[in-house]
Amino acid sequence: MSSSTSKTTAVLIDGCRIPFQKSGTNYKHLMAYDLGRMAIEGLLFRNVVSPAAIDRVIMGTVIQEVKTSNVARESALGAGIPNTVPAFTTTMACISSNQAIASGVDLIRSGQAEIILAGGTETMSDIPVRFRKKFRQKVLEARKYKAPLDFLKFLKGMNFKDFLPELPAIAEFSTGEVMGESADRMAARFGVSRHDQDEYALRSHHLAAQATNKGLLDEELIPAKLPPNYKVVQHDNGFREDTSMEKLKKLRSVFIKPHGTVTAGNASFLTDGASASFIMSEHKAKELGLTPKAYFREYNFVSQDPEEELLLGPAYAIPQLLEKMNLSLNDIDVFELHEAFAGQVLSVLTALNSDKFAKSSLNKSKKVGEIPIDKLNTLGGSLSLGHPFGATGVRLVTTAANRLIREDGTFALISACAAGGQGHAILLERYGN
């Protein structure tokens, strides 16, 4: 590869994350800023890269904290990155840090940067709860009050409900439908049964437990030291090693009652966590004496109707990516798919292996094919490890790259769905092939 080409070839140097924790547990007193800062500090600690040499810090997040609206900038400063390094935050629902990675890759490909720190952070333990609009408008109006009696105007036209707090909406703004309802309907559309979903969830939890016990996730984990006493958190706490089909069967449907198939047992849970990665030009990596883990070969983003195909993005993104790279599923050694719901993953797998879906939705004459289960999410997934919205994308890429090396593979395919009917896929090639 020529020197000029290597300057615009993006490679993954390293990726890491603090342990993902169930919301309301170990990270409940911390801000997303704190989690992002710890992830960046961990990445810097284990890589010989001068913070001042970083060209850009890009982080994904979904639930915005008004005090740190550009959480990438605040986390970077908190981690000791010089204030001369620009930082920006991306938000694209569950693929926010995927977009952070893609933005970094683009900056390198276009010759605008050589070293990118891409990551993501999210806390669901401290979501912004605000007053209702009428109350907010009154507060803004009150800034103009001058005399004490003017404040009597505040109560005019107000009723009791105007003083109640307003929680962030969990429904799609465009459709009014909760994501779990969409997952339930999609599972029914593709004939994915409750038993299938529980069985897949069981697999995810048991694989996460096995991976943790065998130390297979240690390479991507960095310990989180929690103030004020600096308690150390070393592992994820969301997977359920002792779960069983019997226990999962007892859980009731959550979204479509009483006959829905999505339960708390086969859906991802609210999670706090953060991740970070170094993306560089191949030329800069060689200059610094660093050995990359993988090449970023290609990526894409897709969008569908959020009412009918909210979580089906991977079934569109994967075929487009494979076609662009002139590859088939048989060429892929490692698959890492985001697990929002077991029914969502299984629906995507069913769609990819369906001639009917290929003809009606992909305009193809035959199905894309079957993803071998023994190559898919072998260390667990979002169902068991957790899903901090803004941080999951970097976890997926990091896990995939580490698996490629451990399993002596060539290509890894990562894909995820996101709110709004969007999706993403990215192809890695193991470095040195």
What would you measure as the largest C-alpha separation in the chain, in angstroms? 77
Concerning whether 16 is annotated as a catalytic residue, the answer is no
Q: How far apart are CA 288 and CA 100, in angstroms?
A: 23
User: Strands (DSSP E) along 141-221, which ranges?
Assistant: 165-166
**Dihedral, CA of residue 357, residue 360, residue 366 and residue 372, to nearest 10:** -20
DSSP label of 24: T
72 closest CA partner among 54, 85, 57, 93: 57
The catalytic position among 85, 94, 280, 412 is 94
The catalytic position among 417, 418, 425, 426 is 417
Q: 101 CB contacts (<8 Å, ≥6 apart)? A: 118, 277, 279, 296, 299, 393, 394, 397, 426
H helices within 303-371, ranges in order? 313-325, 342-352, 355-361
- C-alpha separations of 6 from 9, 25, 118, 405 in Å: 5, 44, 20, 21
272 closest CA partner among 44, 37, 30: 30
213 touches 370 (CB < 8 A): no
Beta bridge pairs of residue 423: 302, 417
Output the six-digit token pair for 150: 């003017």
User: Strands (DSSP E) along 91-151, which ranges?
Assistant: 115-122, 130-131
Concerning whether 94 is annotated as a catalytic residue, the answer is yes
425 closest CA partner among 338, 343, 349: 338
Q: How far apart are CA 82 and CA 77, in angstroms?
A: 7
| Active-site amino acid positions | 94, 417
